[in-house]
Amino acid sequence: MYGRGSSEERLGELSEGRDVVIASKFVPFPPRSAASLPKALHRSLARLRRNQVDLYQIHFPCRWRRGRPWRTGLRTPSRQGRRGPSASRTIPPNRCGRP
């Protein structure tokens, strides 16, 4: 989220009503937890003017937090139909260590 969400707002404005692939990301800075991930996605969706994104990423997932709670946090939006079936990391898994 660049510019405190302004980039998502602009992208939402420009892509509204168009068939485009949209990705967004969640930054797990403390004190955020995996439980805050669905709420952050909901706010991104509002700025993007969308019901779902095609790809939702955890930005720098291993630098601050590791493990299963983040994977579980990604499942919730998928079950709610707010993100597509894929999730990604912006750091290769081999640089993260074991979850």
pLDDT, tens digit only, all 99 positions of the chain: 467 789 999 999 999 999 999 888 887 777 777 788 888 888 999 999 998 888 887 776 555 455 556 666 666 655 555 555 444 444 444 554 444
How many helices and strands (H and E) does the chain possess? 4, 3
> What pLDDT is recorded for position 18?
93
Distance CA 52, CA 55 (A): 9
Q: How far apart are CA 93 and CA 87, in angstroms?
A: 13
Q: Which amino acid is at 26?
A: F
The verdict on whether omega for the bond into residue 31 sits within 30 degrees of 0, i.e. cis, is yes
Contact between 62 and 97 under an 8 Å Cβ cutoff? The reply is yes
